[in-house]
Structure 1
């Protein structure tokens, strides 16, 4: 019992100290919070259906389902992986800002999987977000492009698309394109 009391006391002290640096609960980010923005959108999609056209190496499939919140997380995982607000990437991106656009582009010579993020605004609200990512080594290369489109009235996702091209040395490239409409 004494051991558990001491452990509980130590954990509560540790927890209190770790929260001192961020007392107001908000964290300032250097770049558009892409991942956090998408995470906030996912609960709004619950109960909605999605119509998808999937093209894999020229073969098309269509489907219409009503995903659970967990399935939405999996479906939008490529967008959730777009996170350039990491300490290691601080200063790695050049930012251009106007009334209609916010663009983060990886600076020449910097290392990062995400090459470019474009946020399009209309009337001060996010209308569309897109990204380009690329991974390369001598044996493998992968390039992805993704676009999320938001309804002007509700601010919710109403369409998205993903394109992924993978090339492995001595193999034919694999190309997958997903176009989806939320209903």
Structure 2
């Protein structure tokens, strides 16, 4: 009897969970899977990266192998729009057979405003990804423009720039650029 009650309780709790669902296959390009694969490969390979970062007036450059790739490429994961709740939120465009463009409809309020994925003509893997993410509320506003380029299916360069602004302060520009050797 105890076990039956525990089983019913467990089934009831799992039925109440609502995991984030991805959009049906083919709705949007599967950016998440691609970026997760790149993160996994970069974590294994530990390549040398020449990284430049700036915030406001300050800027620094370093050469390192010690990078948390999940954190470094997080904005590219955030640019993934392949979620079921988003499936009607974007205008799709195919300027050519190797390019996907998604623009947020004017009636929608989602963080990813624009996403462009250009595929390599030989490998059909992304060769360039570009996205604009924007967050705005009564206390805070930010915009992040991200892009990356690949060579032979591997990320070779990535760039993030934008600004952050609290309602009562001036906007602070920031940028991060990495060149993978």
Give TM-score scaled by structure 2 length: 0.81
Q: Does 1:92 align with 2:115?
A: no
Q: Secondary structure of 1:138's partner?
A: coil
1:29-178 equivalent positions in 2, closer than 5 A:
29-46=26-43, 47-67=46-66, 71-97=68-94, 98-123=96-121, 124-151=124-151, 153=152, 155-178=153-176
- Judged with a 3 Å threshold, the aligned counterparts in structure 2 of structure 1 residues 105 and 7 are, in CA distance, closer, same or farther, namely same
Deviation of 1:11 after TM superposition, in Å, equals 7.0
Q: Secondary structure at the match of 1:85?
A: coil
What does residue 18 of structure 1 align with? none
Cα shift at 1:4: 6.1
- TM-score (structure 1 length as normaliser): 0.80
Equivalenced residue count is 166
Distance, in Å, in 2 between the alignment partners of 1:75 and 1:147 is 13
In structure 1, runs of 5+ residues without a counterpart are 16-26
In angstroms, what is the RMSD of aligned CA positions?
2.4
Distance across 2 between alignment mates of 1:45 and 1:127: 16
Q: Structure 2: how far apart are the matches of 1:28 and 1:125?
A: 17
Deviation at 1:65, TM superposition (A): 1.6
Per the TM alignment, residue 6 of structure 1 is displaced from its structure 2 partner at its CA by 8.3
- Residues 71-104 of structure 1 show CA distances to partners (whole Å, capped at 9, x for unaligned) of 1111111112222122221111011112231101
